[in-house]
Amino acid sequence: MKHIDLWKKLSGEVPDSVWEQTQAESLVLAGNGLREVPEQIGQMTRLRMLDLGHNQLTSVPDVLGDLKSLTDFLYLHDNRLSTLPVALGRLTRLRYLNLGENVFDDLPDAVTRMTALVELRLGNNRIARLPDSIANLTRLRELYLRDNRLAVLPDAIAKLSDLRHLDLRGNPLTALPESLAALPRLEKLDVRWIAIEPPKWFEDLEARGCLVYR
């Protein structure tokens, strides 16, 4: 794999020579104070991994949705993102997405179209609700929702039949749907720093080997 690592090596701007490296399969632009991503990134059609974390992005271009080889990782964490373009929903082969430490109030529609996702990180945002369309992510194994503004979870989350790890720490949840107890492969449920009375079905989860952190 041809790897370009520019972690903390730039100062707010990406030189055009980077976009000319069209054979690259991995590109790290994290920690460079970037405020925008030029459209030229659409030329890098072989990218399997893209790291844009730890920047100052308030948006990303539609052309990211054209990177059909982007299957391994997309890091967008620690930016200033509040929305994602609908075009990113075309990344239907992407397995890992990190949107943590941004300013999302809602889960972008594009995310629920990324049906190959295995791991989704949404911690430290402002998300107050999850859409029923989260049920589309049937391959999801790990879902991290720590430190958001969730008061309830939709029943649709019970359709994530492959889910192994669910992190709900630090949300203002008032209750949890009993349907979580029926998730057949759940191995870890983290509900620390949540002011709810532990429901009796926690015992059922623990009896079958699921670790419940409370």
Q: 3-class SS at 54?
A: coil
Q: What is the CATH number of the domain that holds 16?
A: 3.80.10.10
CA distance 198 to 205: 12
From 1-5, 31-35, 61-65, the region with the lowest mean pLDDT: 1-5
In a domain, 196, yes or no: no
In a domain, 110, yes or no: yes
In a domain, 146, yes or no: no
pLDDT in the model for residue 106: 97
CA distance 137 to 117: 7
Q: Please write the tens of the pLDDT for every residue from 70-126.
A: 999 999 999 999 999 999 999 999 999 999 999 999 999 999 999 999 999 999 999
Q: Please write the tens of the pLDDT for every residue from 66-78.
A: 999 999 999 999 9
By residue range, what is the domain housing residue 114?
3-127
Q: Cβ neighbours of residue 114 under 8 Å, at least 6 residues apart?
A: 88, 89, 91, 92, 94, 97, 137
In a domain, 72, yes or no: yes
How does DSSP classify residue 147?
S
Average pLDDT, the chain: 97
CA distance 95 to 117: 4
Q: Please write the tens of the pLDDT for every residue from 151-185.
A: 999 999 999 999 999 999 999 999 999 999 999 99
In a domain, 202, yes or no: no
In a domain, 7, yes or no: yes
CA distance 166 to 120: 10
How does DSSP classify residue 17?
H
CA distance 82 to 76: 11
What the block records as the tokens of 31 is 């920690």
CA distance 9 to 32: 7
| pTM for the model | 0.97
What the block records as the tokens of 90 is 């075309």
Q: Is 31 left (phi over 0), alpha (psi -120 to 50) or beta?
A: left
Domain tally for the chain?
Answer: 1
In a domain, 68, yes or no: yes
Residue 1 has pLDDT above 80, yes or no: no
What the block records as the tokens of 111 is 């995310």
